[in-house]
Amino acid sequence: MLRKDQIIGKLKENHHRLADTVYGLSESDFLSAPAGKWTAGQQLDHIYLSLKPLTMALGLPKLAVKAFGSANRPSRDYDAVVAKYHEALANGGKAPSNFVPDPVSYQDKDTISAKLKANLDKLASNLDKYSEEDLDKYILPHPLLGKMTVREMLYFTIYHSEHHYKVALQNLGKH
């Protein structure tokens, strides 16, 4: 199990890598995508859209978070969360419509990058009020994976940004 400080470090590392990579793309690469796939800018916006509700949820008083319920099992480890996500994708799982990005212009890259990084900083700040035990006690709903402990949700969030980083590079033929 990763400790909270390690989780925060990995969240920042993966999200900054995605944001900085997409930010550094040429306009043609930023806007390029195979038919039916998201552009690199949309990949970045999707990660921002999916980070926002987690940041908001963890900013609520714990009493409000407790309304989602309490864990009735130990948290899964990182690899088990990743495997569950891959299984959901293999079974046709897709991002719900509220997490599907609109078209993103090259001029939007500053704004999206800044919003993502600010949201990430806020998430890290919101985690200050959570103990290691709290990460395994409180649960949150995930639109594709169901109820997850906060720790599992954070593991997913670490992997999710890595996944979309790889997809963005793969779509550009760079990975």
Q: Encode pLDDT of 24-79 as tens digits.
A: 999 999 999 999 999 999 999 999 999 999 999 999 999 999 999 999 999 999 99
pLDDT at 118: 97
**What is the reported pLDDT for 175?**
64
Domain spans in the chain, listed from the N-terminal domain onward: 4-171
The answer to whether residue 119 scores a pLDDT higher than 90 is yes
Helices (H), 60-137: 62-66, 78-90, 109-126, 132-137
Q: Tell me the per-residue pLDDT of 3-12, one tens digit each, with 9 for 90 and over.
A: 999 999 999 9
Looking up tokens 């709903």, which residue turns up? 141
pTM: 0.96
The CATH classification number of 4-171 equals 1.20.120.450
Query: What SS3 class is residue 54?
Result: helix
pLDDT band for position 174 (cuts 50, 70, 90)? confident
Are the CB atoms for 108 and 11 separated by under 8 Å?
no
Distances (CA, A) of 73 to 69, 147, 149, 152, 159: 12, 11, 9, 12, 22
